[in-house]
Amino acid sequence: MTHTVGILGATGAVGQRLIQLLDPHPDFEIAALTASEDSAGKPYRKAAKWRISEPIPDDVADLTVSETDPDAISDDIDLLFSSLPSSVGERVESGFCEAGYVVSSNSSNQRMAEDIPLIIPEVNADHLALLEVQRDSRGWDGAMVKNPNCSTITMVPTLAALDDFGLSRVHVATLQAVSGAGYDGVTSMEIIDNAIPHIGGEEEKMESESRKLLGKFDGAELSMHDATVSASCNRIPTLDGHLENVWAEVEDEMSVEDAIEAMESYPSLDLPSSPDPLIEVFEEPDRPQPRLDREREEGMQICAGGLRESETGVQYNCLAHNTLRGAAGASVLNGELLAEQGYL
């Protein structure tokens, strides 16, 4: 069954990636695009400063951009993908849900709200049932699901694979690509020949979102995972692909071989955008690397490598494409899960 979809914030970096992923999608058909008032009323090809090497899809180029307002788009849209800046999303996303739209959002606002499911489908698809609590508590005819921060998405599937060994503490240091800050986020004078050892709000997102994603939903409320997570986030001059150094401590005995087997066997899902295997583990000690590995499985695979034992667990590196797996692709996966579970 084909579902008609719209994109909120379609001219931005993540919005463009959403178009790239959704135009050829077997189950979704783009029928609405929204942006700022300056872009409203223009055909998309004139409204967007297109930054992707592939041309704007023909089916999208002449679509007229609408204002980001529930009254400006058709009632026939089955699903909205939101790539709005969080400040804008905070103002307008709830209005779309009140108007009856189902929203799969990449925006950071409300990710930690008790009744908003924060989802990586391969990790915690069962949390989607929180939508029933959400609709009861908010009185919405629509619904909202969030995907986590791109740096969190890179790490959490590997942690989920180790959780059966009693995950108790996580330390992570990230080396994050400039595209994660958006087109205007980091100037060339700041990042060339440099590394920036702070990304505002990023550490807090990783520390809280990870525990929510790994938490348990009992049908009424969600409890956070007991593990403590400490993050240090750094911007480096790579274009795409977040590389992360992770120290995972566990309560039970676990060898490197155990950790590798757990990651390699961690299940994927029968969704169009979910890669199989979900996690690729490299034997080479110098992999994964952003330039070599970020495009694996069309940018949707999690890569890991460099595993070695520590006194209380394992240390390893992991990598994912931050604007594909970590942003636009994450929202598309959540949309696929919404469709599979009958929420559209």
> With 90 as the cut, is the pLDDT of residue 339 above it?
yes
CA distances from 68 to 37, 72, 78, 173, 344 (A): 8, 7, 16, 36, 21
Encoded amino acid at 319, one letter: L
> With 90 as the cut, is the pLDDT of residue 184 above it?
no
**What is the reported pTM?**
0.96
pLDDT (0 to 100) of residue 182:
85
Q: What is the pLDDT of residues 250-301, one digit of tens each?
A: 999 999 999 999 999 999 999 999 999 999 999 999 999 999 999 999 999 9
Q: Once rounded to an integer, what is the mean pLDDT over residues 172-196? A: 94
Of 97, 127, 150, 225, which is the active-site residue? 150
pLDDT (0 to 100) of residue 93:
97
Yes or no: say if 327 and 151 are a contact pair by the CB < 8 Å rule.
no
Of 242, 303, 318, 321, which is the active-site residue? 242
Poorest-pLDDT segment among 29-43, 142-156, 178-192, 326-340: 178-192
Torsional class of 292: left (φ above 0), alpha (ψ -120 to 50), beta (otherwise)? alpha
pLDDT (0 to 100) of residue 7:
98
Tell me whether residue 242 is one of the annotated catalytic residues: yes
CA distances from 38 to 43, 86, 98, 249 (A): 12, 19, 25, 50
> With 90 as the cut, is the pLDDT of residue 201 above it?
yes
pLDDT (0 to 100) of residue 308:
97
Domains, in order of start, for the chain: 3-149+327-340 (3.40.50.720), 150-321 (3.30.360.10)
pLDDT (0 to 100) of residue 185:
86
User: Half-sphere exposure of residue 97, counting CA atoms within 13 Å on the CB side?
Assistant: 25
Q: What is the pLDDT of residues 93-130, one digit of tens each?
A: 999 999 999 999 999 999 999 999 999 999 999 999 99
Q: How many residues does the chain have?
A: 344
pLDDT (0 to 100) of residue 1:
84
Poorest-pLDDT segment among 28-32, 47-51, 100-104: 47-51
Yes or no: say if 217 and 129 are a contact pair by the CB < 8 Å rule.
yes
> With 90 as the cut, is the pLDDT of residue 245 above it?
yes
Percent of the chain topping pLDDT 90:
98
Instruction: Compute the mean pLDDT over every residue in the chain, rounded to the nearest whole number.
Output: 97
Tell me whether residue 171 is one of the annotated catalytic residues: no
**Span between the terminal Cα atoms of the chain, in Å:** 11
pLDDT (0 to 100) of residue 183:
80
232-260 in b/e form (b: 16+ CB < 10 A) is ebbbbbbebbbbbebbbbbeeebeeebbb
Q: Once rounded to an integer, what is the mean pLDDT over residues 60-73? A: 96
Q: Once rounded to an integer, what is the mean pLDDT over residues 30-42? A: 96
Q: What is the pLDDT of residues 52-66, one digit of tens each?
A: 999 999 999 999 999
> With 90 as the cut, is the pLDDT of residue 81 above it?
yes
